[in-house]
Structure 1
Amino acid sequence: MLRRATDGDVDTMRTLRNQQANLDVSINSHRITAEEHAAWWAKASVDETRRILAYERDGVVAGFVTFFDLELDATPRTGAWGFYLDNEGLAERGETLPAWIGVMKEATGYAFDELGLDELHGEVLEHNTVVRQMNRRFRFVEGEPQTRLADGREITVLPISLHKDNRRKPKGN
């Protein structure tokens, strides 16, 4: 289940984002301080071009999804997204793969059905082959690799995109 993130989620959000597995596959790979996160939340939580959602499984927060750069009044309606999971907690419970599939289904559904997007964009690090495979399973298309400098290291980033007409349809549709 996806729901709007609240002030009460902020500490959990930062804790999960700072899990090593998430840092290893993030463009910004440094540990986020409480002050840095509080400043980000103060702006992001009131930004109309963003939606920050908690992903819950059986009533437990299992990750967060962020939609940003939302162009809801444009043609086509576009936005970008990213997510991260509670890798440690999900692994302990043996729920990593079902949670991962679940968050991707729910997030793409939210993007196209709730936000009404025509196109969803994102980025993935080239070395993150597991996520790239999952993205292909959900019919995201990769663009041309881009080399960047982030947190003092050179990284290769692949833009990804999914058009609403190419998405995997929910069962029953």
Structure 2
Amino acid sequence: MLRTATEDDLDTIRRLRNQQANREVSITSHEISADEHAAWWAKTSADPTRRVLIYTRDGVTAGVVNFFDLDGPAGAWGFFLDADGLAERGQTLPAWIEVMREATAYAFDDLGLDVLTGEVLEHNTVVRQMNRRFRFTEGTPEQRYADGREIIVIPISLRKQDRRNDRSQGNRQ
């Protein structure tokens, strides 16, 4: 289930984002400080072109979905999961599939987007494979420098008409 994030979620969002597994596959790989996180929230929560959602699984916070650049028929997204907690419970793969289903359905059905875009690091082959499963296509890789390291970032996109439409087919799990 996805729900709108509130200030009460801030510590949890930061804790999940700072998990080593999430930092390793993020463009910004440093540990997010409390001040940096508070500044991000102040800007994000006042921005009408952004949405921050909490993903819950079995009543437990299991991830965060961010939508941004929501000022036209296209919008961007990213997400991270509670990598540590889900691994302990043996729920990583089902949660990952579920959050992708829920988030893409939200993007197209609730936000009314025609195109959903994002970015993935080249070395994150597992996410790239899952993105393909959900019919995202990859664009031309781009070299960047972030947090003192060289990274290759691959843009991804999914058009509404190309998505796996599990929600409307009654296959939500």
TM bracket (short chain): over 0.9
Q: Which residue of 1 aligns with 2:63?
A: 63
Q: Which residue of 2 aligns with 1:12?
A: 12
CA RMSD of aligned residues (A): 0.8
The answer for unaligned runs of 5 or more in structure 2 is none
> Aligned letter for 2:39?
A
Q: Deviations over 1:38-89 (max 9, x none)?
A: 0110110121000000000011100000000112xx3xx0100000000000
> Aligned letter for 2:83?
N
CA pair 60-68 structure 1, distance change in 2 beyond 3 A: same
> Aligned letter for 1:123?
E
> Which residue among 104, 122, 130 is the counterpart of 2:118?
122
CA pair 171-79 structure 1, distance change in 2 beyond 3 A: closer
CA pair 46-172 structure 1, distance change in 2 beyond 3 A: closer
- How many residues align? The count is 169
SS in 1 for 2:109: helix
In structure 2, C-alpha distance between the alignment counterparts of 1:171 and 1:140, rounded to whole Å: 17
Does residue 134 of the first structure (1) align with residue 148 of the second (2)?
no
Q: Which residue of 1 aligns with 2:23?
A: 23
Q: Which residue of 2 aligns with 1:165?
A: 161
Q: What is the CA-CA distance between 1:127 and the residue it aligns to?
A: 0.1
TM-score, length of structure 1 as denominator length: 0.96
Q: Deviations over 1:99-132 (max 9, x none)?
A: 0000000000000000000000000000000000
Does residue 148 of the first structure (1) align with residue 140 of the second (2)?
no
The answer for unaligned runs of 5 or more in structure 1 is none
SS in 2 for 1:70: coil
* Deviating 4+ runs (over 2 angstroms): none
